[in-house]
Amino acid sequence: MTDLRIAFFGSPAFALPSLEIINQEHHLALVISQPDKPAGRGLSKRPPPVAIWASRNEIPLLQPKTLKTNSVFRDKFIQANCDVAVTVAYGKILPENLLQIPPYGFLNAHASLLPSYRGAAPIQWALINGDTETGISIMSTEIGLDTGPVRLTRSLPIGPDSTSTDLFRQLSELSAKTLTEALTRLDKGNLPTYTQDHDRATFAPLLTRDDGRIYWDRAAREIYNRYRGVHSWPGSWCLFLGRRLKIQRMSVIDRDGPPGKVLAITKSGVIISTGSGAICLEQVKPEGKATMSAMDWCNGYGVQEGAFFA
* 298: nearest Cα among 277, 273, 267: 267
Environment class of 188 (CB within 10 Å of its CB; exposed 0-12, middle 13-18, buried 19+):
exposed
Residue 170 within a domain: yes
Listed residues 174, 200, 226: the one ending a domain: 200
pLDDT of residue 124: 99
Give the CB-side neighbour count of residue 152, counting CA atoms within 13 A. Answer: 20
Number of domains in the chain: 2
Q: For the domain that residue 62 is a member of, what is the CATH number?
A: 3.40.50.170
Cα torsion through 29, 32, 33, 35, rounded to 10: 130
Q: 190 and 219, same structural domain?
A: no
Q: Which of 113, 139, 141 is nearest to 126 (CA)?
A: 113
Alpha helices per DSSP H over 252-306: 294-301
CB atoms within 10 A of CB 205: 12
pLDDT at site 288: 93
- CA 161/CA 167 separation, integer angstroms: 10
What pTM value is reported for the model?
0.95
Kindly report the CATH number assigned to the domain that includes residue 267: 3.10.25.10
72 and 131 housed in the same domain = yes
Same domain, 193 and 213: no
What is the pLDDT, as a whole number, of residue 302? 93
pLDDT tens across the length of the chain (310 residues): 778 999 999 999 999 999 999 999 999 999 999 999 988 777 789 999 999 999 999 999 999 999 999 999 999 999 999 999 999 999 999 999 999 999 999 999 999 999 999 999 999 999 999 999 999 999 999 998 899 999 999 999 999 999 999 999 999 999 999 999 999 999 999 999 999 999 999 999 999 999 999 999 999 999 999 999 999 999 999 999 999 999 999 999 999 999 999 999 999 999 999 999 999 999 999 999 999 999 999 999 999 999 999 8
In terms of domains, do 182 and 228 share one? no
- Alpha-carbon distance of 124 to 167, in angstroms, equals 9
Distance of CA 125 to the CA centre of its chain: 9
| Other CB atoms within 10 Å distance of the CB of residue 100 | 10
Q: Say which residues have a Cβ less than 8 Å from residue 292's Cβ, sequence separation at least 6.
A: 283, 284, 285, 286, 300
pLDDT of amino acid 43: 77
* 236, 246 Cβ separation under 8 angstroms: yes
DSSP-H helix ranges across 71-152: 71-79, 96-99, 122-128
For 226, the domain range is: 209-301
Let me know whether 173 and 261 are in one domain. Answer: no
Calpha distance 141→120 (Å, rounded): 15
